[in-house]
Amino acid sequence: MAGAPTREFESFAAFYPYYLSEHQDRTCRRLHFAGSTVALLCLLMLVVTGSAWWLLGAVLSGYAFAWVGHFVFEKNRPATFRHPFYSLMGDWVMYADILRGRIPF
């Protein structure tokens, strides 16, 4: 697993190409997409039921799928550990880019 030093980014626009470079493996991207979809469903259930347990489900599912993708398939450390806010933003931008067909699924 790569142990690269932490890079600083001046903006999300500067970060996103790096983020995509950390998601070159198709299985990793698919796991991210699956985890984000499950997280969205959990958030929907939170709204429908009002049970805060669904919020925990959203967080756990999103990270669990993504981290398996990184540790098992991509063989790198998730960007969340170094850039938590930009990484969360990157997850959702990548999700939208996959839906739009801009990134191969």
Query: Which pLDDT score, from 0 to 100, does residue 15 have?
Result: 97
Q: d(Cα 4, Cα 19) in Å, to the nearest integer? A: 13
| Ramachandran category for residue 75: left, alpha or beta (phi over 0 → left; psi -120 to 50 → alpha) | left
Model confidence, pTM: 0.89
What is the tens place of the pLDDT at every residue in 20-66?
999 999 999 999 999 999 999 999 999 999 999 999 999 999 999 99
Q: Is the pLDDT of residue 2 over 70?
A: no
Q: What are the structural domain ranges in the chain?
A: 13-99
Query: Which pLDDT score, from 0 to 100, does residue 6 have?
Result: 66
What is the tens place of the pLDDT at every residue in 66-104?
999 999 999 999 999 999 999 999 999 999 999 999 999
